[in-house]
Amino acid sequence: MKIMITGGTGTVGSATVRRMLQAGLTPHVLVRSPEKAAALPAGAVAVAGDLQKPDTLAAAFAGVDRLFLLTALAPDETQQGLNAVAAARQAGVRRLVYMSIHRLESALQIPHFGSKKPIQDAIAASGLEYTFIQPNNFFQVDHWFRDAIVQYGVYPQPIGSIGMNRVDVRDIADAVVNALTQEGHHGAAYPLIGRDALKAGQVAEIWSRHLGRDVRYAGDDLDAWAAQSRPYLPEWLVHDLRIMYDHFQKHGLPAAEEEFAWQEKVLQHAPRRFEDFVAETAAVWKG
């Protein structure tokens, strides 16, 4: 069984590579550069290829039986995903697991939500055995805010006060490996959700408690957030995320109770808690 991962050096992809190695599997990771290949952990196999260059994919996907398709945020994300689906069909891939987003169709106006819908549709029509993994906002997004949290006592992600069932990327990795290697997941779309519907103020309070210092929420002003983000993010991404955070502030991204039972089928353990993630992360940051 040859398993390929696209996006295997990113936040979710790298966690999935590690989980596969722990399970005794050999992940083949699509990489665009020697530098990315060199960063892979021992036991992972680098395979040269680029979703933006479909002529590279036939050789990269040769002999692949199962594919975890992870498309990174990009202006051409849809085309990259469609390139991968076409290459998977041509290569004779049998099973495809695609990472989408929780409650995708409730917010297609968000560019990186909307970009995934045509990929899902193409996969569903492809004739491949498929599973959709649909996570909420990741706990590990908070790693990006370390300086703001630790140095300035500010939690800057403007998620608002309605609540979101955020998820640990390690739970995503567990679900992906299960869907790739076990039977019984064909055609399913699994929500990946944490137990608690977290509001921004609660997130700041949890960081405060575990860091032993006051951390306050920076607030819901999206104009201020965009101005502060532009030195670090491309304009297309600021535009995309601003629409996303506006949706989160107005509607949240909460889970329905019945989604936890559905998640259990693929996750096969209780979801990790944000409180525990913060406790272990704060210990490292303070160390």
Q: What is the pLDDT of residues 49-79, one digit of tens each?
A: 999 999 999 999 999 999 999 999 999 999 9
Q: Is residue 96 part of a domain?
A: yes
**232 pLDDT higher than 90:** yes
**84 pLDDT higher than 90:** yes
Percent pLDDT > 90 in the chain is 98
Mean pLDDT of the chain: 97
Tokens of 36: 């990315």
Q: What is the pLDDT of residues 9-39, one digit of tens each?
A: 999 999 999 999 999 999 999 999 888 889 9
Q: What is the pLDDT of residues 126-135, one digit of tens each?
A: 999 999 999 9
pLDDT of residue 266: 98
Q: Is residue 55 part of a domain?
A: yes
C-alpha 129/C-alpha 10 separation (Å) is 25
Percent pLDDT > 70 in the chain is 100
Q: Which of 144, 200, 136, 209 is nearest to 168 (CA)?
A: 136
Number of domains in the chain: 1
**148 pLDDT higher than 90:** yes
Q: Is residue 21 part of a domain?
A: yes
Q: What is the pLDDT of residues 177-227, one digit of tens each?
A: 999 999 999 999 999 999 999 999 999 999 999 999 999 999 999 999 999
- Compute the C-alpha angle 156/162/164, nearest 5°: 70
pLDDT of residue 34: 86
pLDDT of residue 85: 98
pTM for this prediction: 0.96
C-alpha 21/C-alpha 112 separation (Å) is 30
Q: Is residue 156 part of a domain?
A: no
Q: Which of 244, 250, 253, 149 is nearest to 196 (CA)?
A: 253
| Average pLDDT of the segment spanning 162-191 | 98
Q: Is residue 226 part of a domain?
A: no
Q: What CATH number should be reported for the domain holding residue 108?
A: 3.40.50.720
* Structural domain span for residue 13: 3-136+168-192+255-269
Q: Is residue 248 part of a domain?
A: no
pLDDT of residue 287: 84
Q: Is residue 221 part of a domain?
A: no
